Structure 1
Amino acid sequence: MQALLGLDLGTTGVKAALFASEDGRVLADAFIDYPLSHPHPGWAEQQPEEWWQATLTAIKFCLERASDLGVRPTDVRGVGLSGQMHGVVLLDERRDVLRPCIIWADQRSDAQCHWMTERVGAEQLITYVSNPALTGFSAPKLLWVRDNEPEIFARVRTVLLPKDYIRFRLTGVLAMEISDAAGTCLLDVKRGNWSQEVLKAIELDPEILPPVVPADRTSGTTTSEVESLTGLPAGVPVAGGGADNACGAVGNGVVVPGLALVSVGTSGIVLAHATSPQVDTSGPVPRVHTFNHAVPGAWYLMGVTQGAGLSMRWLRDNIGLPERALERWTGTDAYETLAREAESVAPGSDGLIFLPYLQGERTPHLDAYARGGWLGLTASHDRRHLVRSVMEGVAFSLKDCMTIIGEQGLSLNQVRATGGGAKSLLWRQIIADVLETELVTTNSSEGPAFGAALLAGVAAGVYASVPEACSQTVRIVERTEPQAKTAPAYRQAYETYRALYPALKPILSKPLI
């Protein structure tokens, strides 16, 4: 038996999953959650130590469950890392964490984005790092700490991204993997190294940034301490790994030209494989991101919906309370219950439109202050309409992303769907109908953890390359065709959706943080 361990450090918890290298089947998995803090409106933070303790528990549980199938810890050939992008973990000279991590969803750094853009120059910033300064990215968060917590910033000796902090705890190695580093707004995406021009312009010491490492190469090995805490042997190679979206693409085989990925997790993304670092030039600033892929010598274009699954979770927790209680006591899935209600509502939700801007919005608005809500609500609407309109609103936002990516000239032959939201037959059908394209799903039920494991397999020499790993393990299992009968209703609803943001921006898009 050759097994590969994938770790995915998400927003709600960490997933550890063990896969058979020969065919990618899941041998065992474990998920451990941890809290998310919102100290002020628009802020989002987590404690890195809670990530680490959850990771140790997830690894231990996963290995214990695998042992029931006769899989031993010594069968693990490699470990791959995936995780939420853009967070900043600050370490002092003793490599202790200085403050909670400001994660990707945090919107407090708008002033720093403007300052960074002015300091570097808007056009020069795109030239240097291929992306504008956005509140979601790492560099503005780091600048916020410098501006608002100078006593903490003065003690910073190393900056890590979330999954790279887990690498440090697993191996003792300080490094930042390339597809994740691309989301800092400090990496020269074309060349794959830190942009000295940007660092000089914003007066940031390059010494606090660790080396950039490849996604599919060994970055370190597990320590004896990890072995004593989890049972995972010391000396197991740990691959560079990848950002969650890059690993999601690998786990779904989106590693060659012509393929795109639609992912509905806490955030939603549309990602298209690219063979060159092309940049969106359709507006004053790029509205989709250009990042390094976890595939060597490749890139991807990506549009982001900040509040995809986040919107549905908010609905479940605040409006679906009876189902939430039912879930706790009976094990019934609250999301499935709500989706069954929404099935009885016609496409277009009888004129009810939901704007999924619960954490601002990236594509296409790049507006940290965008605010969500329902428009068109009448006395004839009920909770069924609220649920379906949330699903449709997220689908409309994904269409915004897909439209811009389509304008870049990439030839897309197939769109693959993944993420927790894509497991819903109704939501997947809505997205296919709104995008007016077929969606296919693969056997990648464990999402980014699977992609991380495949990268570990390449690093450990189990596979010769990332495309070979995918061709050996990734299979299409289901197809969702768009329904022509829904097209008129969704085209009309989408036009209404598109008109609402510019109409409401003067009223709602104001700083609240």
Structure 2
Amino acid sequence: AEIKGIGLTGQMHGLVLLDQAGAVLRPAILWNDQRTGAECDEMRAKIGKQRLIAITGNDALTGFTAPKILWVKNNEPDVYGRIAHILLPKDYVRLKLTGEYATDKAGGAGTQLFDVRQRDWSAEVVAALGINADWLPPTFEGTAVTGTLTPAAADATGLVPGIPVVGGGGDQAANAVGTGAVVDGIVALSLGTSGVVFAGSDEPIVEPDGRLHAFCHAVPGKWHLMGVMLSAAGSLRWYRDTLAAGVSFDDLLAPAAGVAAGSDGLLFLPYLTGERTPHPDPLARGAFVGLTVRHTQAHLTRAVLEGVAFGLRDSFELMKQAGLAAVTQVRASGGGIKSALWRQILADVLQTEIVTINTAEGAAYGAALLAAVGAGAFTSVPEACRQVIQVTGRTTMGADTAVYDQLYPLYRRLYPAQQSIFAALAHI
């Protein structure tokens, strides 16, 4: 088939530094690098935490790009002195394809150098951090053409020169496009090792304490809120590997379906690797609370599934408080969604319909749809999603919603009750 357009997506927040000639100055510092704690404090001191959240939509976090730039300034001044261009990882690929320095609005918002409402670089934040604004590339909407395939890139890829390359989007924003979460009311839920709740909005919504991420969407003129829990399906994998080694997930989960909702008074706190939403606390820990001699392995298994669902509900509740439109449907993806039991628990805890869809490629599929719109194959991103993404399964709320409504406030009290203990344990 003839290729009409190219869309880009990739990990967000990574720092790629280039000199005047476009040569790489040092290995990229990726999204999961935790070295920038001191630089996050520096950002809050220079700008003020509340002002930073008001402009960028986020508190300073080690994962973002801005503190990484400050880290290079503080620790590698020789490298810092040679910087001429700053890109995100996928935008280095764009440079090789088109010869153009550019990024997309969703990726730009993830650097924490963006004014999220204005959808472009924040002169105030950039100046406060002493970063040269000339280093930052022009920003484009996800469907806008940023350049075309060069003859050299065409030779290297086997494609023809001149194919348009669009802005694309960071991985989460492109994944939302790939699942059809592009209109108000439809939320994307990813239940992988971590859990991500992604909700688009027609207006920029910022959670005032920075407990949710607020970014620009890859859909032109739209924004999104995002909650992240660090151990979602990862909690179940840890539990299986540690307490039921060698047992398949199907065999592990089957008995849990026979346990009543609420696991007979057993709660699981899924903070096995610290937490991001709603408690940004690397020292948060996991716990089973309410164990008795009558609890079996099936109870523990179900409690893990329910604890993760409660943890995801925290993001939904924060979004509701921040002013997000009512959720009408959750489009779910990730390994955990293969479990019918977990889908039902999620529908009951979140009190919404959980649907699965016909596309599994997620972000890559979303990038292709953005390219299709940019190349003129569709008039808009929502139209593209309507035409190619179909619902393949539906799980509706059952009778257990009332039980979970009783338990959720108790779950909410677990972390505050144990926070000081978690902190003390981390320092022993």
State the TM-score bracket (shorter-chain normalisation).
0.7 to 0.9
- d(CA) in 2 for partners of 1:358 and 1:289? 21
> How far apart are the structure 2 equivalents of 1:147 and 1:338?
50
Q: What amino acid is the match of 1:372?
A: G
Aligned to 2:374: 459
- The residue that corresponds to 1:196 in the other structure is 123
Give 1:470's aligned residue.
385
Instruction: Confirm whether residue 291 of structure 1 aligns to residue 215 of structure 2.
Output: yes
Per-residue CA deviations over 1:291-322 (Å, capped at 9, x if unaligned) read 11112111122222233244344455555642
Once the 2 structures are TM-superposed, how far is the Cα of residue 133 of structure 1 from its aligned partner?
1.4
CA displacement at 1:240 relative to structure 2: 0.9
- Map 1:370-389 → 2, pairs under 5 A: 370-376=284-290, 384-389=298-303
The structure 1 residue matched to 2:317, chosen from 373, 387, 403, is 403
- 2:328 corresponds in structure 1 to 414
* Distance of aligned partners of 1:177 and 1:125 in 2 relative to their CA distance in 1, 3 Å threshold: same
Alpha-carbon distance in 1 for matches of 2:361, 2:44? 38
1:257 equivalenced with 2:172 (yes/no): no
Partner of 2:111: 184
Deviation at 1:387, TM superposition (A): 4.3
Q: Aligned pair 1:442/2:357, yes or no? A: yes
Q: CA RMSD in A?
A: 2.9
Instruction: Letter of the 1:405 partner, please give it.
Output: M
Q: 1:203 to 1:370 in 2, by over 3 A?
A: farther
Among candidates 138, 152, 156, match of residue 211 of structure 1: 138
Cα deviation 1:44-92 (Å, max 9, x = unaligned): xxxxxxxxxxxxxxxxxxxxxxxxxxxx4xx222222222322323334
Tell me how far apart the structure 2 counterparts of residues 274 and 321 of structure 1 sit (CA, whole Å). 43
> Paired residue for 1:369, among 269, 283, 286?
283
Question: Which of 37, 40, 43 is the aligned partner of 1:116?
Answer: 43
Contact 1:84/1:162 (<8 A) preserved: yes
Letter of the 1:113 counterpart: C
Q: How does 1:14-53 map to 2 (within 5 A)?
A: none
Match of 2:232 in 1: 308
SS in 2 for 1:173: coil
Alpha-carbon distance between aligned partners in 1 of 2:286 and 2:323, rounded to the nearest angstrom:
31
Instruction: After TM superposition, give the deviation of residue 509 of structure 1 in Å.
Output: 3.7
User: Within 1, Cα distance between the matches of 2:63 and 2:219?
Assistant: 24
3-state SS of paired residue (2:6): strand
Give the Cα–Cα distance (whole angstroms) in 2 for the partners of residues 336 and 151 of structure 1: 54
Q: 2:17 aligns with which of 74, 82, 90?
A: 90
Question: 1:141 Cα deviation (Å)?
Answer: 3.0
Aligned mates of 2:239, 2:290 — CA distance in 1: 18
CA contact (8 A) 1:179 1:294 kept: yes
Alignment of 1:273-288 (within 5 A): 273-281=200-208, 285-288=209-212
Q: Name the amino acid aligned to 1:289.
A: H
- Conservation of the 8 A alpha-carbon contact between 1:219 and 1:238: yes
TM-score (norm 1): 0.74
**CA shift in 2, pair 1:165/1:422, >3 Å:** farther
The residue that corresponds to 2:165 in the other structure is: 238
> Which position in structure 1 is the counterpart of 2:7?
80
- Tell me the secondary structure at the aligned position of residue 142 of structure 1: helix
Letter in structure 2 aligned against 1:299: W
Alpha-carbon shift at residue 399 of structure 1 (Å): 0.4
Give the corresponding residue for 1:357.
271
Shift of 1:116: 0.8
Tell me the residue number matched to 2:52.
125
Q: 1:431 aligns with which of 315, 329, 346?
A: 346
Structure 2 length-normalised TM: 0.88
- What is the CA–CA distance in structure 2 between the aligned matches of 1:192 and 1:148, rounded to whole Å? 30
Query: d(CA) in 1 for partners of 2:270 and 2:374?
Result: 39
Would you say 1:503 and 2:427 are equivalent positions? no
Task: Give secondary structure in 2 for the equivalent of 1:79.
Answer: coil
Give, as a single letter, the amino acid of the residue that structure 2 aligns with 1:408. Answer: A
Compared CA separation, residues 150 and 308, structure 1 to 2 (3 A): farther
Q: In structure 2, how many angstroms separate the alpha carbons of the residues matched to 1:320 and 1:232?
A: 50
Which deviates more from structure 2 when the two are superposed, residues 404-413 or residues 472-481?
Answer: 404-413
* AA partner of residue 305 (structure 2): M
Q: Is the 1:395–1:431 Cα contact (8 Å) retained in structure 2?
A: yes
TM superposition shift of 1:167: 2.5
Q: Tell me the amino acid that sits aligned with residue 383 of structure 2.
A: E
In 1, distance between residues paired with 2:280 and 2:368?
33
Task: State the one-letter code of the partner of 2:176.
Answer: A
User: Structure 1 pair 483/508, CA: closer, same or farther in 2 (3 Å)?
Assistant: same
- Is contact 2:229-2:276 (8 Å) kept? yes
Q: Find the aligned partners of 2:308 and 2:210 in 1 and give their Cα distance.
A: 21
- SS of aligned partner of 2:143: coil
8 Å Cα contact 1:122/1:132 also seen in 2: yes
After superposition, give the CA deviation of every residue in 1:384-436 in whole Å (9 maximum; x if it has no partner). Answer: 55544333222111100001111233332512222213333222222111112
How far does residue 335 in structure 1 lie from its aligned partner after superposition?
Answer: 4.5
Letter in 2 for 1:482: M
Whichever residue aligns with residue 217 of structure 2, its letter is: H
Task: Work out whether residues 205 and 323 of structure 2, in 8 Å CA contact, stay in contact via their aligned partners in 1.
Answer: no
Shift of 1:454: 0.8
Cα separation, 2, equivalents of 1:483 and 1:318: 31
C-alpha deviation, 1:183, in angstroms: 1.6
Look up the match of 1:49: none
Question: Contact 1:105/1:359 (CA < 8 Å) preserved in 2?
Answer: no
Q: Taking every aligned residue pair, what percent have the same amino acid on both sides?
A: 49
SS at match of 2:60: coil
Contact kept in structure 1, 2:327 and 2:352, CA below 8 Å: no
**Unaligned stretches of 5+ in structure 2?**
none
Q: Which amino acid aligns with 1:357?
A: Y
Letter in 2 for 1:286: G
Match of 1:479 among 384, 390, 394: 394
The alignment of Structure 1 onto Structure 2 pairs a total of residues equal to: 425
Cα distance 1:476–1:491, how it changes in 2: closer, same or farther (>3 A)? Answer: same
AA at the equivalent of 2:119: G
**8 Å CA contact 2:10, 2:170 repeated in 1:** yes
Alpha-carbon contact 2:261-2:400 (below 8 Å) kept? no
Contact kept in structure 2, 1:371 and 1:509, CA below 8 Å: no
Deviation at 1:100, TM superposition (A): 4.5
Cα separation, 2, equivalents of 1:231 and 1:338: 48
Is 1:110–1:368's contact at 8 Å kept on the other side of the alignment?
Answer: no
